[in-house]
Amino acid sequence: MAISSATELRQRLETSWPVESIQRQQVYLVVIALLAAYPAVYHLLSQSPLANETVALLPRMETMVGVLYFALFAMSFDFISGYTGYLSFGHAAFYGTGAYTVLLIANGKVPLLPPETPFVATLLIGAVLATVLAVVIGLVSFRLTGVYFAMITLGFTQVMYVFVRDWDYVGSNPRDGIALSGARGFELGVPYVDQLTVALGTLTGDTLTLFGHTLGTTTVSFYAIGVVVLLCYLGMQRIVHSPFGRVMVAIRENEERAEAIGYDTFRYKLGAFAISGFFGGVAGGLLAGFKRSVTPETGFYFLTGGDALLASIIGGFGTLAGPLWGHLFDEVIREFLSKQGQGGGLLPYLREALSEGVLTTELVGGLTVEGFITAALNGHASLYVGVVFVLFVLYVPDGLVGTVRDRLGGPVARRLPERLWGER
Amino acid sequence: MIPVDSLSVALLQTGFVDGLLDFLQPDVLAGVVVRGLAKSAIYIMIAAGLTLIFGLLGVLNFAHGALTMIGAYLGGLVMVLTVANGTGPWTRLALFFVAMTVVFGLLAALGGSIELSLIRPLYDRPPIYQILLTFGLTLVLEELVRIVVQFYGLQPIAKWQQALGTIPVFLETTQSLGPLSVRGLVFFEILLGALSVAGIWGFLTRTRYGLFIRAGSEDSEMAEALGIDVRRVFTVVFALGAGIAGIAGTLLMWDQVWGASVPLAADTLLPAFVVVIIGGLGTFRGTVVGGLVVGLVDATTTWWFQNVVVTWTWLPEVAIFLILVVALIVRPQGIYGVEEVGGH
């Protein structure tokens, strides 16, 4: 068929499926592009005259990698807690299981699995183990509801936490967790194909040279882990929008009614919990892959699950992308307001920016300005995160993404383009 | 299966029957029971405020551990400021009760203002938001205490030794009673626990305000219809719960096992939850029984795993959570709980 005019061509183009599908996904694409551009932007800004401000304000690359895998864990938490309404207070168990499995196999502590087993495989094994664990815990716990459910999952996790802390099989000092022996990094990608894998880690990772630019180890890890997190996100997104996901929401809204309609809610809850455990395990495996070590505190302690809760609430409970933004927000505040490692933040910035006269000015009773900012900012990020969290619970109960969604009247990815470019 | 092997080896080495015979000897058994009762007293005291608040307000107060911890520091502060090296043991004991009263007052004020300013706006929301709010509050309170404590040059993680040192001699040293010989503090804890239980019990059943509280727990709308200002009762109960947490904290400040430190918040919150859940959320009777069960089982397992099965050093630490899991499987609503409480 001949195309008669330019207008018709435009119309035909706009209704063809690739263009339409790009239009439908544009919010995702923009977000992915923004995240993908972050290393370059950070690099450019830190070379510019605004270097001091950049280092003080923006999270470091290493933090960003952490944001990615922890956001995946927070999403897996939100997947069960935000969508079915069952607060899984012991979610750290799955994170820890994933991380411990990867490191135990890599240290040759698991029979039948040699230390050379590809990282992708151990990642999956860890995730499957976490799934099995979720089914076992779920079989018992889903007989209960509400606070009792939260408490029994907490109980299971605490038992595992204390066990792991004293399990001398993992190493001579189980309280310090396990670290990977040797200097090699975990290789993420297609197993046995060297060109398609990259090693992770700040010290042990690969660098990549593309178009004459060399990407640092952390940046490479950022992209590699980002791809896995994205795939997991899309998987969960698919499930949430499937009929299965509808039943999950129905359970949250009114479980008795869902049951009355004829759904076997127990099975749906168990299934959702297992899926959530799987992705929690993947997140833990990624933590192990990047950090090459895990401690009982970072893996199994219930407050690790508490951090996921913070991320979910700040980002938006019951929105899958929310935990990513929530955790990013959380980490930005944490890093900005407390001195961490060699990184930036407000404290070094203030020390540099304020003059000596201001710093030594006395406030009250011998407390100088410098003493005050040191006391208030040095390592007390939890205080500010807690304040922000309380404010969110009180005034922004739907979180960042949830509030935007309510304003737009539907899922952000669908509604935002409509708002911006008009109804189609 | 390595653990099973090592367990059976351990059982063979020491002998299960020998262990049982040892355990059943009167002095050993009495020691375990008395230590168990002391643990129970502590568990009941840290859980009592939590259960009062949940019973009436339906709020699972995650900040309860932080309040206990603040109580421990404040109590320690009063003691350290008033007790000198030469202070006699009886004066110290008297000062302890002064400290307890002061801490009760301060924490009740803190609890009341928390309820008024932060919890009150949330009653119309789903219960999860109250959990979230108090969880956030814990972070803030813990960090504030950390800042203050560090400012005065104390280690926030370590136990406050100076406060531990204000304990009277006769509580510090080992006392004998019949075949028993345990630290004097053990008896003091049992005594104080019994007094607290009796006090709260009397308040709930013998006073007019206790009647309001019980009525409000039963059916707050009906109580309101009958002319009780339920909102004010809510505030009073939250203040009371916080005050009781403070009393418990003051006691823990003297105990070598606990001591005033920032991690005390999480260390007391988790057992308190376990006790409250096992007893049945919101029933004071359930909390007392739950505390007794947990304390006695805890003391028993600790003895067994220290003296007979020595291979699993981690088990005493998780005993309390194992009790929780088992109890929830066997009787999900708790010993005295009603099915609907804590429902979805």
SS (H, E, C) A193-236: CHHHEEECCCCCCCCEEECCEEECHHHHHHHHHHHHHHHHHHHH
Query: Which candidate in A143, A159, A314, A396 is best for mutational testing of the B interface (most B CBs within 10 A)?
Result: A159
Please state, in angstroms and rounded to a whole number, the distance separating the CA atoms of residues A300 and A303.
8
pLDDT band at B342 (very low <50, low <70, confident <90, very high): very low
Does B244 score more than 50 pLDDT?
Answer: yes
What long-range pairs does B227-233 form, CB within 8 A, spacing at least 24?
Answer: B231/B120, B233/B56, B233/B209
Copy the structure tokens of residue A211: 């178009």
Length of chain B: 344
Query: Which amino acid, residue A413?
Result: A
Give the mean model confidence (pLDDT) for residues B133-159.
87
Q: What is the pLDDT of residue B1?
A: 39
10 Å CB burial of residue A230 (0-12, 13-18, 19+) is: middle
Helix axes A369-377, A346-353, angle to 10 degrees: 170
Triad A30, A36, A41: Cα angle to 5°: 105
> Where along chain B do its domains lie?
2-330
Copy the structure tokens of residue B262: 């920032």
The CB-side HSE value for A96 (13 A sphere, CA atoms) comes to 28
Positions in chain A short of pLDDT 70: 1-4, 183, 195, 212, 338-345, 348, 351-352, 362-367, 375-376, 378-379, 422-424
pLDDT tens for A57-73 read 778 888 889 999 999 99
10 Å CB burial of residue A273 (0-12, 13-18, 19+) is: buried
Candidates B244, B286, B262; CA nearest to B45 is B244
Q: What is the pLDDT of residue B156?
A: 83
Q: Which residues of chain A have a CB within 8 Å of the CB of B322?
A: 155, 159
Tell which A residues from 84 to 113 touch B, by Cβ distance under 8 Å. 85, 87
Does B2 score more than 70 pLDDT?
Answer: no
Copy the structure tokens of residue B58: 């339906």
Interface contact flag, A393 B122, Cβ < 8 Å: yes
What are the distances in angstroms from CA B278 to CA A79, B37, B53, B339? 28, 17, 16, 13
Q: What is the pLDDT of residue A341?
A: 44
Q: What is the pLDDT of residue B311?
A: 63
Q: Which residues of chain B have a CB within 8 Å of the CB of A158?
A: 270, 318, 321
pLDDT tens for B156-181 read 888 888 888 888 888 877 777 777 77
Q: What is the pLDDT of residue B8?
A: 53
What is the residue whose two structure tokens read 């470091």? A60
Interface contact flag, B314 A162, Cβ < 8 Å: yes
Residue A23, Cα to own-chain centre: how many angstroms? 26
Among candidates B125, B273, B318 on the partner chain, residue whose Cβ is nearest the Cβ of A159: B318
10 Å CB burial of residue B208 (0-12, 13-18, 19+) is: exposed
What are the distances in angstroms from CA A194 to CA A118, A198, A207, A289, B314? 12, 8, 14, 17, 43
pLDDT band at B343 (very low <50, low <70, confident <90, very high): very low
Cβ atoms within 10 Å, residue B233: 21
Copy the structure tokens of residue A55: 């280092």
Does B205 score more than 50 pLDDT?
Answer: yes
Nearest-CA distance B112 → chain A (Å): 17
Query: Which candidate in A151, A165, A378 is best for mutational testing of the B interface (most B CBs within 10 A)?
Result: A151
Nearest-CA distance A45 → chain B (Å): 33
Candidates A325, A323, A288; CA nearest to A308 is A323
Please state, in angstroms and rounded to a whole number, the distance separating the CA atoms of residues B223 and B212.
8
Interface contact flag, A147 B60, Cβ < 8 Å: yes
pLDDT tens for B115-131 read 999 998 888 887 778 88
What is the residue whose two structure tokens read 């979910």? A312
Q: Tell me which of A124-128, B6-10, B331-335 is least confident.
A: B6-10
A254 touches chain B (CB under 8 A): no
pTM summary value: 0.85
Ramachandran sector of residue A210 (left: φ over 0; alpha: ψ -120 to 50; beta: rest) = beta
Q: What is the pLDDT of residue B48?
A: 93
| CATH number for the domain formed by residue range(s) B2-330 | 1.10.3470
Interface contact flag, B132 A313, Cβ < 8 Å: yes
Residue A254: which residues within 8 A CB-CB, separation 6 or more? none
Please state, in angstroms and rounded to a whole number, the distance separating the CA atoms of residues B319 and A249.
36
Q: Where are the beta strands (DSSP E) in chain B?
A: 174-177, 180-183
